[in-house]
Structures are given as structure tokens and as C-alpha cells.
Structure 1
Amino acid sequence: MTPEIPGATHLHSGKVRDLYTLPDGNLLMVASDRISAFDHVLSPGIPDKGEILTRMSLWWFEQLADIVPHHVISTDVPEQVAGRAVVCENLAMFPVECVARGYLTGSGLLDYAETGGVCGVALPEGLVDGSRLPEPIFTPATKAEMGEHDENVDFDHVVATVGLEVAERLRDLTLAVYSRAEQIARERGIVLADTKLEFGARADGTIVLADEVLTPDSSRFWPADDLRLGGPQPSFDKQIVRNWMLSPESGWDKASDAPPPTLPPEVLERTRARYIEAYERLTGQAF
């Protein structure tokens, strides 16, 4: 349920975040404990997830500040959302999901199997699930409405959407952020396989990193010492939830129109523990 916040006007709710406008024109972005999988918002949420994601994003924004400015103005927020919300700039958001991939998996693997590349970027033959790419690639996607799938597109689609100059800048910033983050994660024993970023523009045209950044909800983090080429990787994200939903234990048929089942306590706790492990390993800070 979207919380009512005195002095703030509810603007939009996505799968996991709620957005409000403030009297001064800035935005209040609240990370909820909601979790989604297979385009469904599940119940109940993961305890502390909103706070974990907020802390992790704030930490990453600091690591990336010399590459690109970010949208966070303050963490001084109403008490009822303290720890899981930020006051941020009201930007003109670009309608593009900016994805960088350093490893082949997920929708990229499906694209590769059909075309020999990802989003129009040709790749060498013989790659398998989990293969490291010769160099990171920019593989953008459209922003889908809630309940719909993002659709991978090529660079020309981005150019047609935002113009060549902005498209090139978004590509270059996405790859620069990924390269910095991949190095930091690797030093901590974690592989950053891919990540999804969102950018907006200030009134003067400055491009700003927005939304969440480099969390387990927007990125694939794998333990570096346990890579398994040719198959799914153990990961620091909601894969525990996905696996349970697809198991006979859940009793849910992904192909049906039936609503997904309630998540059991043990799945909630294991997922919470995995998010916390990712936060603590990356930041070196206790949650």
C-alpha cells in the first residue's frame, strides 16, 4: 500500500518504488519492500529491502560522482520513510533503459542464440551462459509499462528516440559507470555481469544518473569464486524467489493467468539474507 506522506503528493508507483512531488518542486523517491518477479508484484515484501537498496544506491552514487552527477539532494526525509527514501531532483527522464553487459546471460543470451549478437552488437561464436564478453557492450531497452516486458533494442533505436548526441552520451556514460563498478565489485569477490541504469536531464541539458543504481534489483551480481559456465549462476538477487515460484512446491504455473502464490517465510528470509550479503560485501559496511 502506498503510504500517505504529509506535505507530499503521490505521483507514481512502480513495481518497487513510490514517487511523490514536494512543495519545492523536488521529488521524494521511496523504496518499498515490494519484490517483483515474472512481471508480478509479490506478497509479502522482503523485510528491510527498501532500506538495503537505498543504502546501496547512495554508496554507489558516491563511488561514481566523478563520472556523472546524481540526482540525490538529501536524505532528510519524513520519519515514516526514513532510511528508505531520498529527496531528489525532478529531471526530464530519458525514455531508455541503459543497459551495460560484460557477461552473456538472460535476455542477452536468448538474443545471441537467435542472431549471434545482442541488440545489434555482433559477438564471437561459441559463447555460453556466463561467458565474459571481449569487452562490455551497450544493450539498451525500451521502458515498459508496469506488467509488461522491457524490449531490447539497438543503438539506432536510441538515436531515433533521443538524437545522436544524447544517445552517444548515454552509451558512453553507461559503459563508464559499468567499468568502474565492475572493477570495484571484482575487488570484493563479486562479478557484475550486467546492470540497468536510468538517466535524466537538468534544464541546462546536464545528464544526471537517477533512480536506483547498481543494486541487486537492477544488476546481476555473481560470486566470483563460483562461476558456472554453461548454466545459471548463483546470484545476489531475487533468484531465490524466482526458483521457488518455478518449483513444484509453489504450485504456480507461470504460463497461466493465475496470480502468483504468497511467498513463504523461509523464502523471504533467505532472500533478505542474500540482499544483505551483497550490500555488506560491496560496501564493507554492516547493515
Structure 2
Amino acid sequence: MQYDANGALIQTEIPGLKLINRGKVRDVYDLGDALLFVATDRLSAFDVVMPNGVPRKGEVLTQISLFWFDLMRDIPNHLISADVASRPELTAYVKDLQGRSMIVRKAKVLPVECIVRGYLVGSGWKDYQKTGMVSGLKLRAGYQQASKLDEPLFTPSTKAEIGDHDEAISFEQVGGIIGADKAAALRELSLKIYSTARDYAEKRGIIVADTKFEFGEIDGRIILVDEVLTPDSSRFWPADQYQVGTSPVSLDKQYVRDYLETLDWNKTAPGPELPANVVKKTSDKYLEAYRMLTGKSL
């Protein structure tokens, strides 16, 4: 296992297990009858993985996903267990893996990012300013930056290969990729999960502005896969700091992005080393997101 000077887990190494994918954050291993998802403390910004990580970030991502899977247990998902000690081949690595890992079912992942927007911000806001539309959907006039939308929008995108960027596509294009029935099922599930999470989070003082989901299939049944409703896959705003007409403060890595924007850096690899104070502040934001959502501290 590779840790940085701040104690952040940067990379996992598990001899004897096949590494299927080393993504921006997750290392995925083949367990034969299942997969092992390990959320490291790596952090990416502007599609570049930073050289140092954010301590406990991977733990927060995993524990928040587990929280939502439990809260919405009526939605089929890929989780088998979060107890790595239950697998003999992982016994030697429990100290490194426990708390940041999930043992999950193998699924055929559908090639669509299922994005739901409840508020008009980011690329959606930019599109609206230019065209009055978001992902080809015509919106009424009069919205401001960070306005709550009259109804949440399903705005899917392609799933890009590493190094490429996702591209927004229409609902009809989703149907062309995976079939009309599956497209309708993804839209219905995505809006249902978002609305459930939004209503819950509001009671905890968090606005879920937007989020993205991934789905897979097992024996023709659509299930929720990967992480869900975390600060990496969603925009969380503290409700007491929310103000229409501004870009609200986020409980995520926006603090890192804002810092990087002050540098003379061309947003290509390698990324710059993050200062200790930026790392600490970002770690605190992730832990605060967990505390506010669950009412517990990690």
C-alpha cells in the first residue's frame, strides 16, 4: 500500500488479486465471484489526479454510499458486504481496506452517466444563459444562477474513456444506445433516487444541487452500481449558506479547484502538489458532509 506524507492512501497493491481498473479514485479488483471496490484518498480536479491525496476521503465516499444504500434499500444495488474481513484473501489487508471498501456483485455496466439536476448551476447554468436550454430541454425564462428548478431534470451524458470528457446527450440518444425501455427505466430510477435523497438531505441542512448515478444489469435486472450521492458524484450545498444568484459554497473538492485556479498551471498532468492547509480544509469538508448527512462523526 502506498501512503503519502499526510497519511492519505494513494495506491493499493494486493498481490494475488487481479487489478481490473485503477481509476481516478477507485482501485477495482477481481475476487472471482465478486469485485472489490477500494476508494483511495486520491483526488482529481480538472480530470487530473493530484500527486498527494486527502486523508480519509475514500472512507467518507464509501461510508456515505453505504448510508444511502441502506436508506434506499428498496432500490436494487450491487453491494454484497462492506466487511473485507469476511474474505480470506483480504485478511492481511483489513487494516488498510476496512471502512473504505465494498465487496460488490459483478454487473454489466450500462454506458450512460445518469445526471439529475435539481438546481441550475455549473454547465447547466452556462447552457441556459446561452440557449435557454439544458441538455436540449427548453426551460422557462427567469431562472438565476443556483435557482431551484421547477422540476428535477434528467440530463444524461456519455461515459468517456479515461482522459476524455463526458458529453451531454439527449434522452432519445440514450434510447438509441441501450434501448427505449431501459432508457425510460434509468430516467425513472434516477429521478426517484435523487428526489428521495434531496428530501432527506434538506432535513439535515444540505441541498443536493445535482448528482450522477451509474447503473448496471444482472440477469436483465437494472441495479444501482458504483458510489452513490457522495461529495465526489454530487454537489452538496450547506443550506444556511445558500443564496440564489451566486455560486454556493460546496461540501466537496471545490475548495481545491478554487485554489488551483489561482496557480499558473495549464490543467494538464502532472498536477501540482497541494499545500497542507488546502488538504486539511478539503478533508474537513468531506468529513463535515458525512456528519451533516448521517448525524454521526467518522
Please say whether Structure 1 and Structure 2 have the same fold, judged by a TM-score greater than 0.5: yes
For residue 272 of structure 1, the aligned residue among 255, 270, 283 is 283
SS in 2 for 1:233: coil
For 1:66-119, what per-residue CA distance to the aligned partner results, in whole angstroms no more than 9, with x for missing partners? Answer: 2x1110101122313111111101000000000111100111112212321111
1:91 to 102, 107, 113: 107
- Structure 2 counterpart of 1:59: 67
How many correspondences in the alignment?
280
Do the aligned residues in 2 keep the contact of 1:199 with 1:210 (CA within 8 Å)? yes
- 1:69 matched to 2:69: no
Equivalent pair of 1:31/1:54 in contact (CA under 8 Å): yes
User: Which of the residues 22, 25, 28 maps onto 1:16?
Assistant: 25
Equivalents in 2 of 1:177, 1:273: separation in Å?
Answer: 27
Q: 1:3 aligns with which of 12, 23, 26?
A: 12
Q: TM-score, normalized by length of structure 2?
A: 0.91
Q: Say yes or no: does 1:229 pair with 2:244.
A: yes
Contiguous gaps of at least 5 residues in structure 1: none
Contact 2:50 2:270 in 1 (8 A): no
Q: Is 1:26 the equivalent of 2:42?
A: no
- Which deviates the most, 111-120 or 219-228? 111-120
Paired with 2:247 and 2:69, the residues of 1 have a C-alpha distance of 29
Does the CA contact (< 8 Å) of 1:119 and 1:155 recur in 2?
Answer: no
AA aligned to 2:184 is: E
Tell me how far apart the structure 1 counterparts of residues 170 and 147 of structure 2 sit (CA, whole Å). 21
1:143 positional shift: 0.6
Residue 216 of structure 1: SS of its match in structure 2? coil
- Gaps of at least 5 residues in structure 2 are 1-9, 85-89
% identical aligned pairs: 50
What CA distance in whole angstroms lies between the structure 2 residues aligned with 1:75 and 1:40? 28
Whole-angstrom CA distance in 1 between matches of 2:161 and 2:123: 18
Q: Which residue of 1 aligns with 2:153?
A: 137
What RMSD over aligned residues (CA atoms) do the two structures have, in Å?
1.3
* Counterpart position of 2:122: 106
Distance in 2 between residues matched to 1:242 and 1:195, nearest whole Å: 18
- Per the alignment, in what secondary structure is the counterpart of residue 286 of structure 1? coil
Q: TM-score, normalised on structure 1?
A: 0.94
Note the C-alpha offset of 1:39.
0.9
Deviations 1:27-50 (A, max 9, x none): 001101000011100120000111
Note the C-alpha offset of 1:127: 1.2
